[in-house]
Amino acid sequence: MAKSARGGQNTKRLLPGKLFWLAIAATSCVVFALLHFIFGSISADTLTATTGINKTVEVTTLIASSIQMNFDVPASYQAKTIKYAPVPAGEKVIALTFDDGPWPETTESILATLKKEQIKATFYMVGQPLKSFPEIGKKVLADGHVIANHTLHHWYHKMTPLVAQREIEDTQQIIREVLNVETAYFRPPGGVLTNGLVAYAQKQGQSVNMWSVDSNDSHPKRPSPEAMLKTILANATPGGIVLMHDGGGNHGNTAKAVPQIIAKLREQGYKFVTVPELLEISSAGAEKVAKATDLPVGS
Ligand SMILES: [Zn+2]
């Protein structure tokens, strides 16, 4: 009896304690559910509005790289190597291109200028730095620029067909994984056309893009922004492709020169296009010319 009564008393003593902990657990669950409901429902827009510009970039880059982008080549330019693209008279367009990035500071500085001036450019990315600086690569894409392939290692030497294939395809794989982009635009490092890379790119139907205006910014003695501007203005033509560098070393002078280059070319009436846009304009122009000359006699 006594034992049983003691047992009963023990049970009675324990019960309030258990209830207390049960109540704590239940309250925690309710609070947790409430917090989850409040913060879990925050949208990307709310996040952008409440956390400022850095978060804006993060959110947009996240969205940009979640959509697959294809940079295709117009039929008439597939498997072709070009230095420029002939455009119809009156189309005063030019393409700014940047090689060897993405790269800390320089790429972002150039991106800021292009965004301010509402210009889209073409970025020939090297696989290695894209792997090292994926977030900078994502910003390039998020800002609406064209992504192109500039090989994995930036080698100039003669390659076996297999090595050439790997240089291009491994880079495409990195571009695919980091940016969710398929690109058919290729530029051979150093403009070397005979080491096996261009042969492979053309076999794949890619557009091989050289340049008609070299800013000389990859010269070991980096030219001043003023010297770059002078070189570019002296060689710019409608349908031209301008070579500059955002990566592969210090290109602070290039970043400094870009605002002046844009301003002066604009003064001369140039509009800025990406390389795919340039090829579209050129192809459409060629069709017009073909149609005009194909008209039957007497019509
Ligand atoms: Zn390069």
Query: How much is the pLDDT for 6?
Result: 42
Query: How much is the pLDDT for 60?
Result: 76
Q: Based on the domain organization, do 26 and 109 belong to the same domain?
A: no
Q: Based on the domain organization, do 77 and 197 belong to the same domain?
A: yes
Q: How would you label 61-93 residue by residue, b for 16+ Cβ within 10 Å and e otherwise?
A: beebbeeebebebbeebeebbbebbebeeebeb
Query: How much is the pLDDT for 230?
Result: 98
Q: Which of 124, 102, 249, 259 is nearest to 188 (CA)?
A: 124
Q: Based on the domain organization, do 222 and 156 belong to the same domain?
A: yes
* 50, part of any domain: no
* 58, part of any domain: no
* 129, part of any domain: yes
Which residues have beta carbons under 5 A from ligand 1 (an ion)?
99-100, 189
* Alpha helices by DSSP H, 160-224: 161-179, 197-203
Query: How much is the pLDDT for 286?
Result: 76
With 0.75 as the threshold, say if the pTM is over it.
Answer: yes
* 46, part of any domain: no
Q: Based on the domain organization, do 260 and 149 belong to the same domain?
A: yes
Query: How much is the pLDDT for 88?
Result: 95
Separation of CA 98 and ligand 1 centre (Å): 9
* 53, part of any domain: no
Q: Which amino acid is at 125?
A: M
Residue 182 CB-half CA count within 13 A: 6
Separation of CA 8 and ligand 1 centre (Å): 85
Query: How much is the pLDDT for 41?
Result: 40
For the chain, list residues with pLDDT below 70.
1-59, 287-299
CA atoms 171, 173, 175, 178: torsion sign: negative
Separation of CA 29 and ligand 1 centre (Å): 57
Query: How much is the pLDDT for 64?
Result: 75
Structural domains counted in the chain: 2
Separation of CA 210 and ligand 1 centre (Å): 11
Q: Based on the domain organization, do 14 and 114 belong to the same domain?
A: no
Catalytic residue among 145, 150, 154, 245: 245
Separation of CA 105 and ligand 1 centre (Å): 18
Q: Based on the domain organization, do 134 and 207 belong to the same domain?
A: yes
Catalytic residue among 99, 214, 217, 246: 99
Question: 81-82 and 240-245 as β-strands: parallel, antiparallel, unpaired?
Answer: unpaired
Question: Is residue 99 annotated as a catalytic residue, yes or no?
Answer: yes
Query: How much is the pLDDT for 96?
Result: 98
Q: Based on the domain organization, do 13 and 146 belong to the same domain?
A: no
Separation of CA 1 and ligand 1 centre (Å): 94
Task: CATH number of the domain at 181, please.
Answer: 3.20.20.370
Q: Based on the domain organization, do 81 and 181 belong to the same domain?
A: yes
Query: How much is the pLDDT for 18?
Result: 62
Q: Based on the domain organization, do 30 and 86 belong to the same domain?
A: no
* 224, part of any domain: yes
Q: Based on the domain organization, do 112 and 8 belong to the same domain?
A: no
* 237, part of any domain: yes
Q: Based on the domain organization, do 204 and 163 belong to the same domain?
A: yes
Separation of CA 9 and ligand 1 centre (Å): 85
* 298, part of any domain: no
Domain range for 30 is 2-41
Separation of CA 260 and ligand 1 centre (Å): 23
Q: Which of 146, 102, 139 is nearest to 276 (CA)?
A: 146
Question: Is residue 245 annotated as a catalytic residue, yes or no?
Answer: yes
Q: Based on the domain organization, do 20 and 156 belong to the same domain?
A: no
Q: Which of 145, 129, 96, 149 is nearest to 255 (CA)?
A: 96
